[in-house]
């Protein structure tokens, strides 16, 4: 068993144990998709005879099935190996600040049912998780799936997560969730199911890695710009979480030592200066000071406070103040990302979250910020773009998170 799995024994106590060689085959198919025996042997460095034996055992266990023929290279067409969709099922849960998305998927991560409803995390963990369990059980019952066929549940939550223990640590927008045992609560209802909890940005990065623009990209960063700012880091096709699970918390990198106070207690954090909440705060100040007729009109319409969406709308109307707020925020984020680019040298940066609706000016400002501060070699093959998955990144990643932790290699 790897050091990673030794350190996370509790996380994997419900996982299916596979011999090491079988686990490597399954992990490869989960990461890179269907392969022929020959291609698997070549990728993993095994002999064809050894691969044939491993695959035979996995087919006998009903984990794999032979599917369609691979493209011919001149000889007999090889059969592609894929997961048996009926081996079991997974649930993906994307919990946001004010809503929850849930998807039931088969063993190939193909969606069988999707559910969405408003759900405020401020109701507290008991109320929210009880509702999630109710939705999950109703979904299984509706599709006549027994609970013991639910192999894994992946949950994305909007706060810092101790990944090993499945708990939130000082979540700024989730009062009452501090160190609440989310995994234990879920497993009390589904005792034979692996439950994996991760930060929502990591889960969105997982979605891009599995089916989005991050497919076949070895090293990339997914940046979510919404109420806060965070990043999911992919290294060698795997989510990098760091020692305690908080890698990618870039929102608290300081960009101005004389800047505003952040909710973390420090000053001048990029989150306090360039997030959607920061943009809305700057727009409201401009409206109250009569610096923008358009923003003032929004403010006078009877709303309690301006939002980042209204800043975007004002910019689309040609308001120079709103446009400057968007460009300044994008430039600041780009300058922070430039330091990460110089350090990490990714080939792709994807920008997601609600502020992406600001349009091309925001993305252009991020690109300028990165390019102005990065070394030429580190940006030679760098692509910076908006996520094309939108709201689907989180739920797709939650399914992938669940599927990735169904199996564990034996010692």
Does 141 share its domain with 225? no
CATH of the domain at 195: 3.30.420.40
Q: For the chain, what is the total number of helices (H) and then of strands (E)? A: 14, 16
Does 81 share its domain with 111? no
Q: How many residues does the chain have?
A: 411
User: pLDDT for 222-261, tens place per residue?
Assistant: 999 988 899 999 999 999 999 888 899 999 999 999 999 9
User: pLDDT for 292-331, tens place per residue?
Assistant: 999 999 989 888 889 999 999 999 999 999 999 999 999 9
Does 235 share its domain with 118? no
Does 115 share its domain with 262? no
Does 239 share its domain with 112? no
Long-range contacts of 183-186 (CB under 8 A, 24+ apart): 183/11, 185/125, 185/129, 186/129, 186/132, 186/133, 186/153, 186/155
Does 177 share its domain with 202? yes
CATH of the domain at 72: 1.10.10.10
Does 48 share its domain with 128? no
Alpha-carbon torsion (336, 374, 248, 89), positive or negative = positive
- The domain total for the chain is 3
Does 237 share its domain with 383? yes
Q: Which of 46, 61, 85 is the last residue of a domain?
A: 85
Residue among 109, 89, 113, 110 nearest 101 (CA): 113
**Predicted confidence band of residue 1 (pLDDT cuts 50, 70, 90):** very low
Using an 8 Å Cβ cutoff, are 150 and 193 in contact?
A: yes
Q: Which pair of structure tokens corresponds to residue 229?
A: 């700012």
- pLDDT for 267 beyond 90: yes
Does 285 share its domain with 175? no
Write out the residue range of the structural domain in which residue 221 sits. 215-388
User: pLDDT for 323-381, tens place per residue?
Assistant: 999 999 999 999 999 999 999 999 999 999 988 888 899 999 999 999 999 999 999 99
Q: How far is CA 316 from CA 40, 42, 356, in A?
A: 51, 52, 13
Longest CA–CA separation in the chain, Å: 76
Say what the pLDDT of residue 69 is.
61
Say what the pLDDT of residue 13 is.
63
Does 331 share its domain with 234? yes
């Amino acid at each position: 068993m790897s050091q990673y799995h030794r350190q996370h024994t509790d996380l994997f106590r419900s996982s299916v144990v596979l011999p090491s060689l079988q686990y490597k085959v399954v992990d490869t198919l989960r990461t890179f998709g269907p392969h022929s025996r020959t291609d698997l042997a070549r990728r993993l460095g095994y002999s064809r005879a050894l691969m044939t034996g491993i695959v035979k055992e996995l087919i006998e266990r009903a984990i794999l099935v032979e599917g369609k023929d691979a493209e011919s290279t001149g000889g007999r067409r090889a059969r592609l190996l894929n997961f048996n969709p009926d081996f079991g099922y997974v649930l993906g849960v994307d919990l946001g600040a004010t809503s929850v998305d849930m998807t039931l998927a088969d063993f190939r991560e193909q969606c069988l049912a999707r559910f969405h409803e408003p759900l405020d995390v401020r109701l507290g963990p008991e109320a929210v998780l009880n509702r999630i369990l109710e939705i999950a059980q109703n979904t299984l019952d509706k599709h006549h799936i027994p609970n013991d066929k639910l192999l894994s549940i992946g949950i994305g939550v909007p706060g810092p997560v101790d990944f090993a223990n499945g708990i939130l640590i000082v979540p700024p927008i989730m009062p009452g969730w501090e160190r609440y045992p989310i995994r234990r609560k879920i497993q009390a209802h589904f005792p034979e199911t692996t439950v994996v909890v991760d930060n929502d940005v990591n889960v969105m990065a997982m979605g891009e890695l599995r089916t989005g623009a991050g497919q076949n990209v070895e090293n990339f960063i997914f940046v979510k710009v919404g109420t806060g700012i965070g990043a999911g880091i992919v290294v060698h096709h795997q989510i990098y979480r760091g020692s305690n699970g908080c890698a990618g918390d870039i929102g608290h990198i300081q960009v101005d030592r004389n800047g505003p106070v952040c909710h973390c207690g420090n000053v001048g954090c990029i989150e306090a200066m360039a997030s959607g909440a920061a943009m809305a705060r700057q727009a409201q100040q401009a409206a109250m000071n009569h610096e923008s007729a358009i923003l003032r009109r929004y403010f006078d319409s009877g709303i309690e406070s301006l939002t980042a969406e209204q800043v975007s709308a004002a910019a689309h109307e040609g308001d120079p103040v709103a446009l400057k707020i968007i460009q300044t925020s994008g430039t600041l984020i780009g300058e922070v990302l430039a330091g990460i680019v110089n350090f990490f040298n990714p080939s792709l940066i994807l920008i997601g979250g609600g502020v992406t609706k600001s349009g091309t000016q925001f993305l252009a400002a991020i690109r300028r910020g990165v390019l102005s501060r990065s070394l030429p070699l580190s940006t030679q093959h760098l692509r910076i773009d908006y996520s094309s998955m939108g709201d689907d990144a989180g739920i797709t990643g939650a399914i992938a998170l669940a599927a990735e932790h169904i199996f564990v290699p034996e010692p």
